[in-house]
Amino acid sequence: MLERVHSVRRGAQFSGEGDDGNDESKTRKNISMAMRASNYLTRTTYLWPFIVLFLLLLFHFSLIIHSRNFVCVSSSSDPLSRMRFFAVQDPDSDFGSLGVPWYVQHSERKIGSTLKNYVADVTPTDFVNTHWNLIYNPCSSCYFWLSKHGKTVEWTSKDLLKGLEEFVPIYETRPIKNNMYGMGFDHSFGLWFIARWLKPDLMIESGVFKGHSTWVLRQAMPDKPIVSLSPRHPEKYLNKGPAYVDGNCTYFAGKDFVDFGSLNWRSVMKKHRITDPSRILVFFDDHQNELKRLKQALKAGFRHLVFEDNYDTGTGDHYSFRQICDQFYIRGGGHSCFKDSDEARIRSTRKKFWEKAVDIEELCGPSEAWWGVRGYMRDVFNHSNKPITYTQHFKNSRFVESVLDVYWELPPVAGPSLTHQTRYDPARASTPIVEDGRFRLFQRLGLTRLDTSVFNGYTQMVYLQVSAQIS
Ligand SMILES: C[S@@+](CC[C@H](N)C(=O)[O-])C[C@H]1O[C@@H](n2cnc3c(N)ncnc32)[C@H](O)[C@@H]1O
């Protein structure tokens, strides 16, 4: 082989190229294209076995990688084929790309004309100048990620991965194996991770059910007190099956139930000897209007809030932050109710694949009202359902933006081809912590040991940090 390489080189040396002492580049100009091609081929003959070998190896690897897909893809309802399908279907659409400030890409005039239809008193310049400082999302794994003055969460995707590795064995020891109507794996992980990262002195939870989320908080902070509020005490579930009642938790539940908005938080804090409310983490899973809860939390001076069910526009039983932040200036935000639009077509296709996806008929109420749920602000598990104008909805978003430093949505733990979830539309969620195709990692983290049903409950859990000057 070596000898052949030498002889090829020698051949090139004695081909007459440049042997008259002329500048090589000048000599080349006189050589025909055919000659050049033949010279090139002659010079590179020694490379061909390597190229062929490389191509063979490439073909072989691609067969290995795709062979798993061949086994998995049985019908178009398979998550993997879903994704392939949408990769083809969604070439340039903004649908599902929430997170990029719209005004970065569009002229002020265009924003103004879009908003003018809804909000008479906002001029485009006003809007851009006074608007919350949305910045381009530099983190590929954050989907709907807004921050004021460049502030964001301290943790990175790496921290989340490390956390997952630690959390899977903990989750396997959970007392309530079947937590239907409560949190699944993704949000359990998110709550545990955030609590562990922030290390609060006190944890408050509103919406307990059988006590799974109390157990999650306890795993994160074994020695810190918890305050739990729920109309029904979790001990009531004990005679029906597994439930969790915590020994270091003050329950405002059952006959002692007090709603979060009515509790005297000053006296609760005093009882727990807490003087700084920013040392408290509040977790809401009570299906109440989240704007109402935010205002109540602000009144008490709390700064770290987690909302479990952060429903997307057109879905859910209460007004959520995802809905509130869904505005025209967010890429993928603000919606069209035209039946003959790209969005309408994309939505109706995606609805066939994802149970929670909504088409234009479900999204839009009377007078093309798409915000909230068909122009309604839901509350108390949808027992209250009030229409709101777009102006009000827009003002709500501006209020939220004015009091928050950080809005951070927990990404799904893994892509749908790994978890086999079929409920939420991945186009409306951030890049998962374990991306599709990374089966080895998914397996290494122990996620293959979990029943697939635990991955079905993702609803964009969100962590909010209230600005220091507000509290
Ligand atoms: C979805 S479940 C909570 C699930 C629980 N966090 C878990 O992870 O298993 C909602 C709970 O909120 C309770 N709830 C209803 N109204 C409430 C209120 N005003 N304040 C607090 N909890 C409330 C319900 O009784 C129910 O137990």
Residue 263 and residue 363 in one domain: yes
3-class DSSP state for residue 471?
coil
Pocket test for ligand 1, best of 209, 215, 282, 381 (most atoms within 8 A of CB): 209
The residue from 24, 47, 72 where one domain ends is 72
Residue 203 and residue 260 in one domain: yes
Please report how the helices 212-220 and 185-198 are oriented relative to each other, as an axis angle in degrees rounded to 10: 40
Residue 444 and residue 323 in one domain: yes
Residue 98 and residue 68 in one domain: no
Residue 288 and residue 417 in one domain: yes
Beta strand segments in 75-234, E: 145-147, 202-206, 226-230
List ligand 1's pocket residues with C-beta within 6 A: 179, 181-183, 206-210, 212-213, 229-232, 259-260, 285-288
SS3 content of the chain, % helix, strand, coil (to 5): 45, 10, 45
pLDDT of residue 444: 98
pLDDT of residue 3: 29
84 Cα distance to chain centroid? 20
161 burial class (0-12, 13-18, 19+ CB within 10 angstroms)? Answer: middle
Amino acid letter for position 167: F
The residue from 17, 42, 72 where one domain ends is 72
Q: Which residues pair with 464 in a beta bridge?
A: 305, 407
Domain count, the chain: 2
- Domain membership of residue 115 (yes or no) is yes
3-class DSSP state for residue 224?
coil
DSSP notation for 389-412: -HHHHHHHHHHHHHHEEEEEEPPP
The residue from 17, 46, 72 where one domain ends is 72
Record the pTM: 0.76
Residue 46 and residue 93 in one domain: no
Residue 374 and residue 343 in one domain: yes
Query: Distance from the CA of 444 to the center of ligand 1, in angstroms?
Result: 34
Note whether 335 and 343 are within 8 A (CB): yes
Find, among 190, 342, 198, the residue nearest to 276 by Cα: 198
Query: Distance from the CA of 233 to the center of ligand 1, in angstroms?
Result: 10
H or E stretch covering 280: strand 280-284
Residue 416 and residue 268 in one domain: yes
Note whether 274 and 265 are within 8 A (CB): no
- Domain membership of residue 471 (yes or no) is no
Query: Distance from the CA of 399 to the center of ligand 1, in angstroms?
Result: 26
Which residue CA neighbors atom 19 of ligand 1 most closely?
259
Which residue CA neighbors atom 16 of ligand 1 most closely?
286
Residue 65 and residue 97 in one domain: no
Find, among 30, 31, 49, the residue nearest to 40 by Cα: 31
- Domain membership of residue 441 (yes or no) is yes
pLDDT of residue 265: 98
Contacts of 309 (CB under 8 A, 6+ apart): 285, 287, 316, 318, 320, 459, 461
339 burial class (0-12, 13-18, 19+ CB within 10 angstroms)? Answer: exposed
pLDDT of residue 401: 87
Residue 155 and residue 11 in one domain: no
- Domain membership of residue 303 (yes or no) is yes
Which tokens belong to 135? 């910045």
Query: Distance from the CA of 182 to the center of ligand 1, in angstroms?
Result: 8
Which residue CA neighbors atom 11 of ligand 1 most closely?
207
Phi-psi region of 381 (alpha: psi -120 to 50; beta: other; left: phi over 0): left
pLDDT tens over the chain, length 471 residues: 332 333 333 333 323 233 333 333 332 333 344 445 445 544 555 666 776 677 766 655 443 333 222 211 222 233 443 444 333 334 345 555 544 333 333 333 344 444 444 444 433 333 333 333 333 332 233 334 455 666 789 999 999 999 999 999 999 999 999 999 999 999 999 999 999 999 999 999 999 999 999 999 999 999 999 999 999 999 999 999 999 999 999 999 999 999 999 999 999 999 999 999 999 999 999 999 999 999 999 999 999 999 999 999 999 999 999 999 998 877 678 888 999 988 899 999 999 999 999 999 999 999 999 999 999 999 999 999 999 999 999 999 999 989 999 999 999 999 999 999 999 999 888 899 999 999 999 999 999 999 999 999 999 999 999 998 776
Which tokens belong to 197? 């990262």
Which residue CA neighbors atom 27 of ligand 1 most closely?
209
Residue 66 and residue 158 in one domain: no
Query: Distance from the CA of 208 to the center of ligand 1, in angstroms?
Result: 5
Residue 403 and residue 378 in one domain: yes
Buried b (16+ CB within 10 A) or exposed e, 264-289: ebeebbeeeebeebbbbbbbbbbbbb
pLDDT of residue 59: 55
Query: Distance from the CA of 228 to the center of ligand 1, in angstroms?
Result: 10
Structural domain that includes position 409: 79-466
DSSP notation for 302-349: --EEEES--PPTT-SSS--HHHHH--TTBTT-S----TTSHHHHHHHH
